[in-house]
Amino acid sequence: MHGEFKVPGGKLVVADLEVADGVLRHVRISGDFFLEPDHALERIDAALTGLAADSPAAVLAARVTAALGDGVVMLGFSAEAVAVAVRRALAGATSWTDHDWHFLHEGPQEPALQMALDQVLAEQVGAGERPPTLRVWEWASNAVIIGSFQSLRNEVDLDGAARHSVSVVRRISGGGAMFVEPGNTITYSLYVPESLVSGLSFVDSYAFLDEWVVAALRDLGIEATYQPINDITSPAGKIAGAAQKRLAGGVVLHHVTMAYDIDASKMLEVLRIGREKLSGKGTKSANKRVDPLRSQTGLARADVIDRMVSTFRSRYGLTDDALDDKTLRLAADLVESKFGTQEWLARVP
């Protein structure tokens, strides 16, 4: 069995092993990490060999830590990363390059249709009707997207939304509300088989699925890091927020909204929760909460997107694709029956 785990911001850890009579055999850990002294690698292998194959990651990591003791230097990885690589091997996890990735970047769509497309495309990947896909969104109008479990009246000032021509929609994933404006926001979705994140905790899967975009931002000169559970940040402030939904058929929907040049004063007139968060932090200016990509890169929005997509393409390969009539029709039907209805929007009043 073979499993790989790229530590976010760190190095690759690889686990090769066998299982016999329910226990780990012939465990071999490798990777491009740094470890001193050399013979510590043999201690890691020995510590894992003989453990029960159903041992949780915490048990595996504890055994590695105990075996190494003091005086061992691990750079670019950790005992926890070793445990994740082992669990991914046992789960039969796939790697990014095991898949034929497709790319969608269509023209502007209305917010409700964007919500529907996310569900339809994820379901198509889960059903094997579409390969794993990266999609970059274009927005046709201002919008607030609230999480699946958020209260509409607690999160959104509907009078403020109407005043600023902001559509309010609810997505199928959890998480917080997102404020978007056409041309001022970068949103993308990944529709991935669950095997890609097998062996990862929910928290780890967020960082894992966005490691490529953090690398792209760093290439642009931004000191980007992932902040658990679901934020991408820099020393200057928050850049993006992510959300996920696991659907039937073994597919994971992972989508991210990034601030390029947000009108923060308008955002605060629409989002109630934003006012409370800022007040609680003693922050006078909303501009200190959301750090636009424009100010950090000096690049046009389209150039930032191109650099992001180029990073993904160079790492994992990417075939350009387009939405077909069937997919658009299914999404339009879903707007009528779900995402465009008051029942769905106010399902948590």
The DSSP secondary structure of 20-66, one letter per residue, reads: ETTEEEEEEEEES-EEESTTHHHHHHHHHTTSBTT--HHHHHHHHHH
Domain ranges of the chain: 2-91, 96-345
pLDDT attached to residue 341? 98
Written in H, E and C, the secondary structure of 117-180 is HHHHHHHHHHCCCCCCEEEECCECCCEEEECCCCCHHHHECHHHHHHCCCEEEECCCCCCCEEE
For every one of its 349 residues, what pLDDT tens digit does the chain have, with 9 covering 90 and above? 999 999 988 999 999 999 999 999 999 999 999 999 999 999 999 999 999 999 999 999 999 999 999 999 999 999 999 999 999 999 999 999 999 999 999 999 999 999 999 999 999 999 999 999 999 999 999 999 999 999 999 999 999 999 999 999 999 999 999 999 999 999 999 999 999 999 999 999 999 999 999 999 999 999 999 998 899 999 888 899 999 999 988 999 999 999 999 888 899 999 997 555 544 443 344 444 455 799 899 999 999 999 999 999 999 999 999 999 999 999 999 999 999 999 999 999 9
CA angle 254, 259, 264 (to 5 degrees): 130
The residues near 177 (Cβ < 8 Å, ≥ 6 apart) are 144, 145, 146, 147, 150, 155, 156, 271, 273, 274
The residues near 284 (Cβ < 8 Å, ≥ 6 apart) are none
Give me the residue label for tokens 């579409």. 130
pLDDT attached to residue 264? 85
pLDDT attached to residue 279? 47
CB 187 within 8 A of CB 258: yes
**In the CATH scheme, what architecture does the domain 2-91 have?**
2-Layer Sandwich (3.30)
Give the rounded distance of the alpha carbon of 160 from its chain centre. 30
First-last CA distance in the chain: 48
The Cα 6–Cα 13 span in angstroms is: 6
* 96 three-state secondary structure: helix
Residue 195 is given by DSSP the state G
Q: What token pair was written down for 213? A: 């975009």
Q: What token pair was written down for 164? A: 């600023």
Give the rounded distance of the alpha carbon of 226 from its chain centre. 10
Rg of the chain, C-alpha, whole Å: 22
Residue 287 is given by DSSP the state G
CATH class for domain 96-345? alpha beta
Give the rounded distance of the alpha carbon of 69 from its chain centre. 34
Neighbours of 52 (CB within 10 A): 12
CA angle 149, 224, 173 (to 5 degrees): 15
Q: What token pair was written down for 39? A: 């013979």
Question: CA–CA distance from 142 to each of 16, 238, 286, 294, 340 (Å)?
Answer: 49, 20, 18, 19, 15
pLDDT attached to residue 244? 97
Name beta bridge partners: 238: 233, 290
Q: What token pair was written down for 314? A: 């160079």
Q: Find the helix or strand (DSSP H, E) in which 335 lies.
A: none
pLDDT attached to residue 9? 84
pLDDT attached to residue 286? 42
Residue 99 is given by DSSP the state S
